[in-house]
Structure 1
Amino acid sequence: MKEIASRGHEVTIISPYRPKPAFFNYTTIQTSDVLHSDDGFDLFELDNESLFKNILTTYEYGNLLTEFTLKDKGVQKLLHSNESFDLVIVEQFFTDALKGFATHFNAPLVLFSSVGLTEWNKHYMGNPVLPSTNTIVYTGYTNQMNFFQRIRNLAGTIFDYCYRTWVFYPIQRKYAEKYFPKPVNFDGIINNASLMLLNSHFTTSENVLLPYNMIEIGGFHVTQNRLNNDTQKLLDEATDGAILFSLGTNLKSCDLAPTTLRTILNVFGRLRQRVLWKFEKDLAEKPKNVFISKWLEQADILAHPNVRLFITHGGILSVTEAIFNGVPMVGIPVFVDQKMNMARAKHAGIANVISLKDLTEKFFSMINGTINDPTYSKNVRKMSKLMKDRVVRPLDLAVYWIEYAIRHKGVRFETPVSKMYWFQVYMLDILCFVMFNLLITYLLIKGLCTYLGKENSRVINDNKKKQ
């Protein structure tokens, strides 16, 4: 959105955050309450929950985000104003009622997905869901699943479809009816986007088939900035190398269980490398080689040549930044897409993965093994070159398609799937038709054989009587 504003467009954004520095043509409607929408969730506990519980929790979280956003006073003021817009961009993340902004302002709709192609987004653009190769994000599978993994993936796919259709959509429909001052046809807006921008690239995801209306812009957010003097000095003097550890924005290291925290500190204290740790509170007792900060310039730190390893939760932005800068990873995935991202990274030979409950002596061995095995750094450096070798800068590509939708007042690259029922897509109607006809044919043949058998018996009996 900053890039769009820098090119002369007037931008209004609904967000909990304001940009620094501010732009003269960039207006933020600050929805601070949204930051508290996850107060009732213990995200670390999701690591121990079932596939179905994770699906339910994500939908529940999406409903909270939707209502917190729509009922915000600033948002309601906007909806009751005389503002007009040339385009509406909505993030595709379990907040489908927000697509009503496009209908309300009579503007084309562009969607942005913060992850790549998943069951969260592909059906909106008419891309068929194939449970045999398209893994549910919570499973931690790659697209090369064995028989039992495909069974679990199919079960998750069906459950996700049923819950979305019969429970989630009705709730989102109520939000649209309640908070938009003009009538909104919910069924008409959810699949009415001109385009979807995907935050993915083949180095961060897997080889997938994309229709024209889904454009990959993975890596668009990665920039290179100067480090502050303290961090620069800390890394420059790390003669044995440095390790960056961050659990991202939603997961906070300070919320880790005390036993887990002690184990991590014990492991870090035995390492030769300096460890930079994003830790949100003061930490009194820590090893001398551990340096904490409530906020770290992650992408810029990863670009420093002395950084040997990135210990990460496996969010897509973090994985992208690690690959871009050629840094191998140890992943500690917890929820939503993190397990999928790290499974792909491990399959590509650029990372190792460990769960929170396994943070024992194995953690120390995994860190050293990933750093000292040159295969990981060799593989990730190769992927870094592939990510950087682009026909056009991904941010420029994103802006091109956004301005394309504005110039043409929306455009629809509809696929045949978007106009078909799911049973038509998978040809289940044809299968049922064939099976029905086979059954009818079988019954007719069986009936004919029975009839002929009876006729033959009657003829034989008549002949016996005549004799």
Structure 2
Amino acid sequence: MRVFLVVALLLQASRGWEVLVANVLSTGSHQTVSAYLTNLLIDRGHSVTYVSTNIPGYLREGVDKRELPTCTKAMNQNDPRNSGGGENEGLVAGVKKVLGAIDSLLRSCERWYDEPNVQEILRSNKKYDVMITFGLFDTCSLGLASHLGINNTIIHSSFPALMPNHIQMLGLPLYSSSVDINDILIRDSELVKSSITARAKNLLKRVVFGLLYTTLTNWYIEPVIKQHVPDYQGYNRAYKSVKLVTMRSHPHPQVDGPTPYGPGVLTLGGSLCKAYNPADIAAHLMEYVDSASEGFIYISFGSVQKDSPPEEQAKWIETFEDLPYKVVWKQSKQVENLPDNIRVFPWVAQMALLQHPNIKLFITHGGYASKMEAICSGVPQLVVPKFASDQYYTAERIASLGLGEQIPDLDNTTAPEIRSKIYQITGSGGYYEKMADVKRQLLLTRVTDLQVLGYVDAVVNGHSFLPGYQPWYQYYYLDIIFIPILTILVIRFIYKRVFSKSE
């Protein structure tokens, strides 16, 4: 019997996994995580089907790539500037931004199930051991997992606290009881909110957000899924297949703040750092940055806003034209009448470029991948947040920690003021020293590829980590429920004793 078990275990260990990577709506930051996991699994002999928008070009040979042209087109046409601005533009802009994001997500779910590549997978009888999906909109993709009978799902996300389902799957239904659910990123000063008042407020927020999420799911997303997946039995049952949540892509606790996640959460962080490979940089770009004797500045605002509007372009040109540095400007379209020290490139190997020895500064919107890759490379940042609240927080953190500077309101900042910020960073060694220290910490604390594979292996084999950080009475809200009741009873008792004696 023992011999049989040993042989069975060896066969199981040697069997390659069938992995489905499914991202309904995915930005460059989340593609970074998906591509890292995919390449790691392919290198270890596993089979990966990659279904996503904007499929990265650096996936390994052998990946079964399934493009989603309709979703990709919709994603690329979405202009976040039209859905409201940053934190400083008032409540109306914030509401518009939220409603615009919800609308994009709902429409993406419709397009997802209309895509021929998704329909082909739905009709197939292929068996997958595990699905990896992006946590901002996993309700939609889990319909696919439910139909295919995938019993193990990994959700990679940067802010699992945002989704009520994720809170429960983490074994932390009171996650928002100790951390404000409005905080996409966890502020150091708000790591623990232990007072009854703070936790009760957060409970109320949790209930409101949960109702909104559940309403959108039940009234809109589920009918869309059931049109294409008749045997779909609802997201509550689908979420039971999720064994572990989540692969979190935050780069560094010093930058992002510590987070009280459970043991089922694996923080990738520095694992996504890649070593500098000159071959990754296109020859004409390499020639340009190699010749930058005074150094060069790299400017990119991520995968969502591909091009700056004309008035912003003019401001950047005015900023750069008198600098002694060359400028690598990532935009999908060329810009007319550029000074000699500025060149536009539609695509760059960002991590490799950030590690080039001649780089002086990275001007960025503060997205997840950009922030992480800058830290991996030890490059100071000038953060110009564009539309998402986490970008404004990142800008504040980078500036407060001395890792760079921020321009939170670009419209009301002049070119000379931007240029002054650039000289402030490039003229001082302090920014580079502090960034080098954070980079060193990040690389020392990163998980290894074998640890990541061990995590996936645990999921494939149906392992569930023990959940929970809170006492049982907090887990069930008993302190919040019973303390007001007890207070009322005590007051009533005192009232009766006092007034009964007076009578």
Per the normalisation by structure 1, the TM-score is: 0.84
Query: Is 1:260 aligned with 2:333?
Result: no
Distance 1:162 1:320 in 2: 33
Matched residue SS, 1:282? coil
Q: In the alignment, what sits opposite 1:362?
A: 417
Q: In the alignment, what sits opposite 1:87?
A: 130
Distance 2:465 2:99 in 1: 31
Q: In the alignment, what sits opposite 1:460?
A: none
Query: Is 1:344 aligned with 2:390?
Result: no
Q: In the alignment, what sits opposite 1:374?
A: 429
Residue 217 of structure 1 contacts residue 397 of structure 1 at CA under 8 Å; is this kept in 2?
A: no
Distance 1:444 1:22 in 2: 70
Deviations 1:9-50 (A, max 9, x none): 121121234565776642122211111234674312432464
Distance 1:318 1:71 in 2: 32
Matched residue SS, 1:234? helix
Q: 1:412 aligns with which of 450, 455, 464?
A: 464
Which aligned pairs between 1:222-301 and structure 2 lie closer than 5 A?
222-223=273-274, 224-226=276-278, 227-253=281-307, 256-301=308-353
Deviations 1:56-92 (A, max 9, x none): 3333322222222122122112112211111111111
Deviations 1:152-201 (A, max 9, x none): x9697665444223334542322332222423331122364222211123
Deviation at 1:133, TM superposition (A): 4.6
State the identity %.
19
Stretch deviating more after TM superposition (66-75 or 308-317): 66-75
Residue 296 of structure 2 contacts residue 359 of structure 2 at CA under 8 Å; is this kept in 1?
A: yes
One-letter amino acid of the structure 1 residue matched with residue 145 of structure 2: A
Deviation at 1:307, TM superposition (A): 0.4
Residue 106 of structure 2 contacts residue 221 of structure 2 at CA under 8 Å; is this kept in 1?
A: yes
RMSD: 3.2
Distance 2:494 2:339 in 1: 83
The structure with the largest alpha-carbon Rg is 1
Distance 1:416 1:162 in 2: 23
Deviation at 1:333, TM superposition (A): 1.2
Q: In the alignment, what sits opposite 1:16?
A: 53
Q: In the alignment, what sits opposite 2:188?
A: 143
Rate the CA distance shift 1:19–1:335 in 2: closer, same or farther, 3 A.
closer
Stretch deviating more after TM superposition (435-444 or 116-125): 116-125
Matched residue SS, 2:327? strand
Query: Is 1:453 aligned with 2:502?
Result: yes
Q: In the alignment, what sits opposite 2:256?
A: 205
Residue 79 of structure 2 contacts residue 304 of structure 2 at CA under 8 Å; is this kept in 1?
A: no
Q: In the alignment, what sits opposite 1:176?
A: 225
One-letter amino acid of the structure 2 residue matched with residue 93 of structure 1: L
Rate the CA distance shift 1:349–1:88 in 2: closer, same or farther, 3 A.
same
Distance 1:157 1:306 in 2: 48
Stretch deviating more after TM superposition (279-288 or 160-169): 160-169
One-letter amino acid of the structure 1 residue matched with residue 435 of structure 2: V
Which aligned pairs between 1:389-408 and structure 2 lie closer than 5 A?
389-390=444-445, 392-393=447-448, 395-406=449-460, 408=461
Q: 2:153 aligns with which of 110, 119, 129?
A: 110
Deviation at 1:325, TM superposition (A): 0.8
Rate the CA distance shift 1:240–1:141 in 2: closer, same or farther, 3 A.
farther
Query: Is 1:325 aligned with 2:377?
Result: yes
Distance 1:123 1:274 in 2: 50
Matched residue SS, 2:271? coil
Query: Is 1:388 aligned with 2:434?
Result: no
Rate the CA distance shift 1:116–1:201 in 2: closer, same or farther, 3 A.
farther
Distance 1:131 1:50 in 2: 28
Q: In the alignment, what sits opposite 2:175?
A: 129
Query: Is 1:33 aligned with 2:84?
Result: no
Deviations 1:345-383 (A, max 9, x none): 233221211133233132121111122122211110111
Deviation at 1:101, TM superposition (A): 2.8
Matched residue SS, 1:373? coil
Q: 2:266 aligns with which of 199, 211, 215?
A: 215
For these two proteins, the number of residue pairs brought into alignment is 442
Deviation at 1:117, TM superposition (A): 5.3
Distance 2:127 2:459 in 1: 16
Which aligned pairs between 1:1-12 and structure 2 lie closer than 5 A?
1-12=38-49
Stretch deviating more after TM superposition (381-390 or 326-335): 381-390
Residue 48 of structure 2 contacts residue 63 of structure 2 at CA under 8 Å; is this kept in 1?
A: yes
One-letter amino acid of the structure 1 residue matched with residue 72 of structure 2: L
Stretch deviating more after TM superposition (310-319 or 355-364): 355-364
Q: 1:43 aligns with which of 69, 73, 80?
A: 80
Rate the CA distance shift 1:201–1:104 in 2: closer, same or farther, 3 A.
same
Deviation at 1:396, TM superposition (A): 3.8
Stretch deviating more after TM superposition (305-314 or 228-237): 228-237
Rate the CA distance shift 1:280–1:286 in 2: closer, same or farther, 3 A.
same
Distance 2:413 2:178 in 1: 32
Rate the CA distance shift 1:429–1:389 in 2: closer, same or farther, 3 A.
closer
One-letter amino acid of the structure 2 residue matched with residue 323 of structure 1: I
One-letter amino acid of the structure 1 residue matched with residue 162 of structure 2: E
Rate the CA distance shift 1:440–1:116 in 2: closer, same or farther, 3 A.
closer
Q: 1:76 aligns with which of 100, 107, 119?
A: 119
One-letter amino acid of the structure 2 residue matched with residue 77 of structure 1: E
Residue 176 of structure 2 contacts residue 206 of structure 2 at CA under 8 Å; is this kept in 1?
A: no
Rate the CA distance shift 1:96–1:320 in 2: closer, same or farther, 3 A.
same
Deviation at 1:293, TM superposition (A): 0.9
Residue 129 of structure 2 contacts residue 151 of structure 2 at CA under 8 Å; is this kept in 1?
A: yes
Residue 309 of structure 1 contacts residue 371 of structure 1 at CA under 8 Å; is this kept in 2?
A: yes
Rate the CA distance shift 1:142–1:330 in 2: closer, same or farther, 3 A.
farther
Deviations 1:202-238 (A, max 9, x none): 2552212221111011233332322333222222221
Rate the CA distance shift 1:22–1:320 in 2: closer, same or farther, 3 A.
closer
